[in-house]
Structure 1
């Protein structure tokens, strides 16, 4: 998935890596130490394709473990991989993670699929016994209250080291590919965690009155996720509007004509009309102001809603929101309507992973096709659109004030994942994931985004399970099946998660 001129880059995860061993081995088995650190260098090189990797090297004593823990703290790492290369005492490993609180994943990656039984010496065997200390380390971590994960499999080398007596070319074996898929996902998850912890989310206006599921505890969100919420007023945006130039309006108009199809009148809905030139010009002017607002306050995402007295100037201003917020979403600044901060976070998670994340809710069930239509009255993530999104003029925004231009679109046909972020009765965040298939089923021509999704369960069964998880009624709709990856994101942020 590509963005058009992403305004802010996704941060890379800072990844710690070290290799473990037993100091007593090095004088007993010449070449073993160098062999194991070479495996570690291979891991560093491969991991560097996905994040910024800080390789400490070999940790083979308790004292070295303490030095490594302090070093990882100095590198400000988001995640640490413990490369279990051979046997090591758990007392060597535990101090690292008592000193550095970054989450830890143990790598039990054997160099060869099978040792050469006839030729293998004790020194050769020790280069392949990385699984041996893992239960001991797991026990020590558990007793110390340190959370951990383990990846088992093959190392995935492209060629066999000269010191080896067996075949270590395992890059094409499924056990290596699976292990590296998990490694890549953990590094991606670390990047999301770092991106969120350095993010500024704008909250413009207020939450739609009475939508209790969307009310957010900003202190709780900063405590659990680390992002900052910047409270904004409509007068802030109005100030930006006054600074918009005609050249900026013209540039936005060119972007709109390039990225959208302009509709005629809806054949079915009398309030959905061809956008007028006046409506399009106003949407362009507001969009230019919205981009100024994002740049001025250095925002990474935005949630918004305004419902003031009828006929006031801000009512007209908010009527032009949807097009501009869709443009911002396409540029890596996800925007969620109705003041839904939690769904804006879910959208930012998806966008950071490069899988989209369009603002959605249940629209209607199609019992003939056994699909559920997911969508909203905007905004939309255009990078995951099936064809060009359509702009329609709206005679009114249902349940809201004002008139303007709305986006009608559907997500690409194929696998999709819904990402829901909700708040529990205990005041903690929870994530809910679902995988399904976007179909080519029919949609309405009413100026809303709509995507027919077929989940693994019948719609009634799916909705029953989803409703019982007490979700926020909005979700982020992403392309691809990514529940496993998103589970890692939740785990790194210590957020409870459920996959339906």
Structure 2
């Protein structure tokens, strides 16, 4: 087993699919119905790479539409793709979505980049006129107050059906590539609400005293995301600590050496030293207890903070948190520090999308490079690390009680996206998304994660725009430019979003 093997594999989104047509066509144009079904099978096969597929097949009248709506309800789908395969009346589409309330995306995907004008028959044209009914369908959805989205482009076949009179090999054309990028993003985005509404988030200890931006109503979080919050006590973790065996510690130490580089003393900071054997042993012992806690309570994410009275057992216990929480984050259980539950949600969203999601805040601006350093003293996501993260022994944790081992790391150089989940004055969640570039600029060697990021515009301009959106001061850093993907998550979850 690798340290990156998920403790709880994510659920795939349940995706509904159907194609539309006009029943009167089938007798008039032999082979058309079978041709459209072939396109539908192609869509199903390609979509199944990202989602769990439920293909109803061809819907060609109002009665069949009602059966499809009931069928999609039975399958508990998260998202439905309506493949506009040829002309169909809007009355063939609307009943499906009046019965099944899952979000809908209409696919207007033409099979060929250009019809064969000299040879095309009416039947051939009808196989390529999927865009024709989309305005009518859009109007019906709008008047029925049903939200919808449309993806237009080319179907993207890698062969030409025998019946076709035109070239249908379009998989490499930009119109097909763009359309399938959008489709894949919708499927990946749909996995987020499915997983969140089946998730258990642990809240261990309390929120850092005085950080008012991080305080949230647990009922609000469950109401708007579907996740369950399990309130945990330090004595719960202490109970599992007592059950840790030498074998458990040995296994954790093996994970640590696989995942981290063990540092020497920091060249610049006198409180950042090479971790001692005792510090590593304690961190591994606590890490074993943390995994037992996660498994016992079936957690999907965890946020934590505990101050502890000076010299107390719980102060010593919390001083060993960072290594174990980084190990958990690497295995699909994102852990956010300082009791920041909203950022745990942001980290989980990024992790579900396969883009990482590391706990961060603004560290400092570099006006020479026009970058902003993002990082924290807490857990780091190994999947997005620029090389092996480094472990350093800390003589103290700044602003907190105790001392222990911390993670020093940098996010991979290249495109990155930050996701901030904040709470507005009217009690609603809000997503703030920013795309930038992680650079290979200089970083500090103080036992913290820190990554220089160049955002669009000058650092001052960016920070003023970000601050004006009233963010929580923490965010999740993910790799790749993911604004469009996160926008789809916001739309599917009915969470307002801003892209800076």
Measured against the shorter chain, the TM-score band is over 0.9
Which residue in 2 is equivalent to 1:319? 319
Which residue in 2 is equivalent to 1:425? 425
Structure 1 residue 231 and structure 2 residue 255: aligned?
no
Which residue in 2 is equivalent to 1:467? 467
Decide whether the 8 Å contact of 1:37 with 1:57 is kept in 2.
yes
CA distance in 2, matches of 1:193, 1:182: 18
Which residue in 2 is equivalent to 1:36? 36
Decide whether the 8 Å contact of 2:3 with 2:259 is kept in 1.
no
CA distance in 1, matches of 2:85, 2:393: 63
Which residue in 2 is equivalent to 1:86? 86
Give the superposition deviation at 1:308. 3.1
Which residue in 2 is equivalent to 1:99? 99
Decide whether the 8 Å contact of 2:205 with 2:234 is kept in 1.
yes
- Which structure 1 residue ranges, 5 or more long, are not aligned? none
Measured against aligned partners, the alpha-carbon deviations of 1:242-273 in whole angstroms (never above 9, x if no partner) come to 11001101111122122212222222222112
CA distance in 2, matches of 1:221, 1:144: 29
Instruction: Please give the TM-score of this superposition, normalised by the length of structure 1.
Output: 0.98
Give the superposition deviation at 1:404. 0.7
Give the superposition deviation at 1:392. 1.1
Structure 1 residue 436 and structure 2 residue 397: aligned?
no
Give the superposition deviation at 1:455. 0.8
Measured against aligned partners, the alpha-carbon deviations of 1:31-85 in whole angstroms (never above 9, x if no partner) come to 1111111111111111111111110011111111111000000001010000001
Which residue in 1 is equivalent to 2:197? 197
Decide whether the 8 Å contact of 1:19 with 1:85 is kept in 2.
yes
CA distance in 1, matches of 2:3, 2:441: 26
Q: How does 1:20-419 map to 2 (within 5 A)?
A: 20-419=20-419
Give the superposition deviation at 1:107. 0.2
Measured against aligned partners, the alpha-carbon deviations of 1:337-385 in whole angstroms (never above 9, x if no partner) come to 0001111111111111111111000000010111100000011111211
Decide whether the 8 Å contact of 1:3 with 1:383 is kept in 2.
no
Choose 281-290 or 116-125, whichever is displaced more.
116-125
> In structure 2, the residue corresponding to 1:383 is in which secondary structure?
helix
Choose 75-84 or 387-396, whichever is displaced more.
387-396
Give the superposition deviation at 1:487. 1.0
Measured against aligned partners, the alpha-carbon deviations of 1:87-135 in whole angstroms (never above 9, x if no partner) come to 1111110110011111100000011111112222222111111111101
Following TM superposition, the consecutive aligned residue runs of length 4 or more in structure 1 with deviations greater than 6 angstroms are none
- Which structure 2 residue ranges, 5 or more long, are not aligned? none
CA distance in 1, matches of 2:186, 2:486: 10
Decide whether the 8 Å contact of 2:3 with 2:327 is kept in 1.
no
C-alpha spacing 1:266/1:226, structure 2 compared with 1 (3 Å) = same
Give the superposition deviation at 1:3. 6.4
CA distance in 2, matches of 1:444, 1:255: 25
Superposition RMSD in Å? 1.1
Give the superposition deviation at 1:24. 1.4
Decide whether the 8 Å contact of 2:266 with 2:445 is kept in 1.
yes
CA distance in 1, matches of 2:240, 2:149: 48
> In structure 1, the residue corresponding to 2:93 is in which secondary structure?
helix
Decide whether the 8 Å contact of 2:15 with 2:52 is kept in 1.
yes
Give the superposition deviation at 1:14. 0.6
CA distance in 2, matches of 1:405, 1:360: 18
CA distance in 2, matches of 1:479, 1:50: 19
CA distance in 2, matches of 1:205, 1:73: 40
Give the superposition deviation at 1:157. 1.1
CA distance in 1, matches of 2:163, 2:257: 63
Aligned pairs, number: 499
Choose 433-442 or 100-109, whichever is displaced more.
433-442
CA distance in 2, matches of 1:388, 1:19: 48
Measured against aligned partners, the alpha-carbon deviations of 1:166-197 in whole angstroms (never above 9, x if no partner) come to 11111121111111111111111111221111
